[in-house]
Structure 1
């Protein structure tokens, strides 16, 4: 398949996990490595299609700043596949904890199946909670499928609330709708709220502003929302768990060419 057609396929594919999206895009972008101008143009076009995918922004920044874009795109995709964030979060949960999460987040749900000692409350956002509840129950977890109307009651009486960032900046993250409410309930109730920021999802502030601009301008048009870092007690990343206060990380360089409007 021609690389441009491959990218058009990726852009039409709909709801893909970030690691799959990056892997497919990296494969296609590698074929454009000899044409830097075309590489930047294609990156900007696919980011316009997936504006809140932090890992895609990071990969685009990496390849646009690279002298060897094909090699670096493949290495970046491999780093994403090896991301330990889900395992770090699962390992850090207290024994016997009651944990809340929204919908079916890629990373936050990944490691919970091996923690049969915890109780998981899945708030059924976007109609995805029931499917995850069945999967975790099959793994031996104690699971409660909570309707969205029960968000406050479920979160205020949990030990840990897990929120997964689609993209993160120094002061805020983009997360699934309902995450702001869940984090705020945890904050005022004294419940720990952990933000999972997977490999590749932490952006320099200018790139985060570009990724979040559409959500910020028309928040009612998107399934995602912006959540201030100040509502989280901890951040979990590939290196483990740390206090959210003072958290700083960027997984890519600042590629200014990505900040121009798509052509």
Structure 2
């Protein structure tokens, strides 16, 4: 079984020398935002199979389910910025150093997340494996990281939870201006991403919430200690153009959305963590 899951995980990493995307921090990393005031249920999702198929359902229940099929959007976005644009503009990978795969993420965590994502799609019609969702989380990383790097924390309101904004400001204040600017990420910087944790939570009022923790592997000119989560999976070729050597670092973001019928379909970022903050420790 271990061999089967290892091969499956390796297939997801195939072709990374020429393409991009990813996350996975197969231990609970320093995800420092406060947890929501609900009881987390990390194992089975405690939902019963639907009494009838989702197709052909009418009435309020059907309208609620259709909300789950809406585009990947964030709170406070007046237009659908996330999930509606191409993952990378043509030619964006030009000049990028070669990246080779030297290891794989923890296959047990990979397969567990895949199973839970399948159940979320089955019971709530929320496809976390879709290209739209994957593009949306990458665009969120790019958008949030660029706001942080420029110190525009007020612009994070409505996209990032208030507790996480406070945490981000505290961590960014401990960096120099040059170090803070290195937080900025572009689409072509994203090498790979994978889910690190996926859960559905029920509170005492019967509301349902989905939490998705994503780890991103990024190319960066970051100067500091090596990120073990990056070096154990990827190797970056030496720079031939005389520019600064780029390395693989990781970032962890948690995304939250309410699944209750009639609730807003917007996603909110509830955890932000970048390896760059190790410089301030």
Larger RCO (CA under 8 A, 6+ residues apart)? 2
Q: Give the TM bin, normalised by the shorter chain.
A: under 0.3
TM-score w.r.t. structure 1 length? 0.23
